[in-house]
Amino acid sequence: LTEPGAGTLEVIQDLGAMVDPMPPTTFLELDAAPGDEGWILSTALVRLWAEDFYGGTGVAAIEYSLDDGHSFMPYSGIFEVANEGVTQLVARAWDATGNVETPGLLRAIAIDTVPPVVTIKGPAQRQHLISEAVQVVISAEDLTSGIATSCIPDVRFDSLPLSNGDFIELWMHGLGEHV
């Protein structure tokens, strides 16, 4: 710029450097059939997204791991987790400045699609004397999530509700086949 009679005037404009000290934050949405005690009863669809808050430079990328952070892959859209048992999901994002989310999103995805196995251990399936008292003995097993503490199997003799360990006085029910 030139000012009349004053020579040359230098104008310096400070554009300022954008400072972004904070990494982005990753979020997760699961689409699955919920079960008890945090377990999922179906395959889980996972959607990730990240936000770079406080005037950040913007999310550059997201990556995730299904092996507790040992190996990562780039996130490109909704993905499926179908393994029975607990899968350790780790996800992290970084922004255009290079700030990496540490440790990132950590989530255990617990899937159990196989129902428990209930076994009747007593009374033995055989003919019994009408004078006998037989004990109801049942067991339940679930190899993935275990048996819920609130789980009480519905056991019936004919239509009479019973609990594990109860005795059935056969003389009270007459001769014949019973279910």
If you average pLDDT over residues 19-29, what whole number do you get?
91
How high is the pLDDT of residue 150? 66
Q: Is the pLDDT at 137 greater than 60, yes or no?
A: yes
The shares of helix, strand and coil residues in the chain, as percent rounded to the nearest 5, are 0, 40, 55
Q: Is the pLDDT at 9 greater than 60, yes or no?
A: no
> What is the DSSP secondary structure assignment for residue 115, as one 8-state letter?
P
Top-confidence residue, 75 or 118: 75
Whole-Å CA distances, 67 to 72, 73, 83, 110, 114: 8, 11, 12, 13, 22
Please provide the average confidence, as pLDDT, over all residues in the chain: 87
Q: Is the pLDDT at 24 greater than 60, yes or no?
A: yes
Q: Is the pLDDT at 14 greater than 60, yes or no?
A: no
* Count of residues making up the chain: 179
If you average pLDDT over residues 120-140, what whole number do you get?
87
CA-CA distance, 166 to 176, in Å (whole number)? 21
Q: Is the pLDDT at 112 greater than 80, yes or no?
A: yes
